[in-house]
Amino acid sequence: MDGFVRFDMEDHTQTDATLAIWQAAHEAYQRTGVVIQAALRRSSADVERILAAGGRVRLCKGAYDEPRSVAYVNKATVDANYAKLMERLLLSGSYHALATHDPRLIARAIAIAERQGIGRDRFEFQMLYGVRRDLQRMLVARGYAVRVYVPYGHEWYPYFMRRLAERPANVGFMLRAIVKEEGRRIRGR
Ligand SMILES: Cc1cc2nc3c(=O)[nH]c(=O)nc-3n(C[C@H](O)[C@H](O)[C@H](O)COP(=O)(O)OP(=O)(O)OC[C@H]3O[C@@H](n4cnc5c(N)ncnc54)[C@H](O)[C@@H]3O)c2cc1C
């Protein structure tokens, strides 16, 4: 078997259980990875534990409205923590995934990789299907790997609706992204 299994991360009440399940799977079958959320205060320590176990991380900002006791609630602080964890992962020597549509963080990842001589085949970007396709194409044209996240299968619709309901801001995001992208497409004609 040569597939790769990534364990998505739910809200902070599920972090320990998800990491434990990932750890067991990783010991039995190396080709696994797990998600770490920059919004959580614990994530730096989790990243160190995963790296020590030889694991692969998908770094995201975190999709949930979490309490201040466990999470950074200020966007600038989440972004700063993402940048810090991203640099740690890029310099770790193993292959990780940077899941973000944030152009500033993407530019920063590229700058770190170029400065440190980290090859384009040593990490990948990940984005949601249909979101910032212009950015996805630009990265691919520059030789970077971009993996696109697609909910599929019989349960794709309830899954999609649940993700929207968890964070109603995503509805606005989605509409703004469509309008922005359409605007760019029309201007580019
Ligand atoms: C491949 C992938 C897997 C993920 N897996 C998980 C997971 O397991 N657990 C988890 O908690 N979170 C997960 N997420 C979601 C993630 O945590 C963020 O909520 C989401 O990616 C938005 O953060 P951002 O880094 O793009 O930055 P933001 O600052 O939130 O967004 C930057 C810009 O990207 C655009 N954008 C971002 N999100 C959307 C959207 N949904 N629709 C339309 N436009 C958008 C907007 O233009 C926005 O201004 C995943 C994200 C991706 C891409």
Instruction: In whole angstroms, give the CA distance from residue 51 to residue 46.
Output: 9
Q: What's the order of all strands across the beta sheet hosting 96-99?
A: 5-7, 32-37, 56-60, 96-99, 123-128, 146-149
pLDDT at 188 over 60: no
Per-residue pLDDT at 185? 64
Residue 57 confidence class, pLDDT cut points 50, 70, 90: very high
Residue 123 confidence class, pLDDT cut points 50, 70, 90: very high
Per-residue pLDDT at 176? 75
Please check whether residues 114 and 181 belong to one and the same domain.
no
Per-residue pLDDT at 103? 98
Please check whether residues 87 and 118 belong to one and the same domain.
yes
What is the CATH number for 22? 3.20.20.220
Per-residue pLDDT at 167? 67
Helices (H), 55-142: 75-90, 103-116, 133-141
Q: 157: Cβ–Cβ under 8 A, 6 or more apart, which residues?
A: none
Please check whether residues 17 and 83 belong to one and the same domain.
yes
φ, ψ at 5 (rounded to 5°): -115, 125
Residue bearing the bigger pLDDT, 156 or 97: 97
Residue 161 confidence class, pLDDT cut points 50, 70, 90: confident
Per-residue pLDDT at 130? 86
Chain segment 23-51, per-residue pLDDT in tens: 999 999 989 999 999 999 999 999 999 99
pLDDT at 101 over 90: yes
| Positions marked catalytic | 8, 58
CA–centroid distance for 166 within its chain: 17
Ligand 1: residues whose CB is within 6 Å?
8-9, 35, 37, 60-64, 99-102, 126-128, 131-132, 149, 170, 173-174, 177
Per-residue pLDDT at 111? 98
Please check whether residues 176 and 101 belong to one and the same domain.
no
Please check whether residues 188 and 131 belong to one and the same domain.
no
Per-residue pLDDT at 186? 63
Ligand 1 centre to CA of 1 (Å) is 30
Q: Name residue 24's amino acid.
A: A
Per-residue pLDDT at 142? 97
Range 86-106 average pLDDT = 98
Ligand 1 centre to CA of 101 (Å) is 6
Please check whether residues 28 and 79 belong to one and the same domain.
yes
131 secondary structure, DSSP code: S
Domain of residue 184, residue span: 154-189
